[in-house]
Amino acid sequence: MKARSCTNCSLAGLGRTQVVFGMGNPRADLMFVGEGPGAEEDKQGLPFVGRSGKLLDRLMQEEIGITRAECYIANVVKCRPPGNRDPLPEEISACRPYIEQQLEIIAPKVVVTLGRFSSHLLLSTKEPISKLRGRTYPFGAGVLVPTLHPAAALRGGGEPLAQMRADFIRAKQALERSQLEESRAHAPAGRGGA
């Protein structure tokens, strides 16, 4: 798929500067999925580099202890919706093969969906994010942790921010569990036995 010259939906002709495909470690165990690029992302060609991205970086560091280079970050739509409007259902559908391929190739153990668009798409539900968040869901060979979009925490402060922190801790615990299971699966048989 040639994402960089994609014209599968109208966003291609609605003033995008460039396609924002994703960034990070393609072998990451942890992947974040947001909504779509904003003005700064459209300018730099990288996801989450504006105000929401600064908060994402901070929560990643403070609650999970990682930097963006250690995970992978992508969005459900790869081109900026004009004026930062919500992506339309037909734009999300047209872009869907890209996020599906990214998920298949990276095969993360833990996916954190940021906000309702990515949570709805990947969990195939229309439940409000306030009902979805707060737990983990089986997803592929791993789990999915839905949380709020950082923009909601920037707007709402205290409670949404605390909820995001709790969800990031949930993601960290899921990551640790999957890494422990993996190390057990690869441990030499019989060690420590009588």
* Chain centre distance of CA 5: 23
**Angle (deg, nearest 10), helices 158-186 and 51-59:** 50
Judged by CB under 6 A, the residue of 11, 29, 52, 171 near ligand URA is: 52
Can you give the three-state secondary structure of 174-194, one letter per residue? Answer: HHHHHHHHHHHHHCCCCCCCC
In angstroms, what is the minimal distance from the CB of 18 to ligand URA?
A: 13
**Residue 48 lies near ligand URA (rule: CB under 6 A):** yes
Pick out residues in 147-186 that bind ligand URA (CB under 6 A).
Answer: none
167 phi and psi angles, rounded to 5 deg: -70, -35
CA geometry: angle at 142 spanning 53 and 186, to 5°?
115
Judged by CB under 6 A, the residue of 9, 22, 29, 47 near ligand URA is: 47
Task: Pick the piece of the chain touching ligand URA (CB under 6 A) from 45-53, 100-108, 125-133, 159-167.
Answer: 45-53
Residue corresponding to tokens 């391929």: 101
**Residue 22 lies near ligand URA (rule: CB under 6 A):** no
**Which stretches of the chain bind ligand URA, using CB under 6 A?**
34-38, 41, 47-48, 50, 52-53, 75
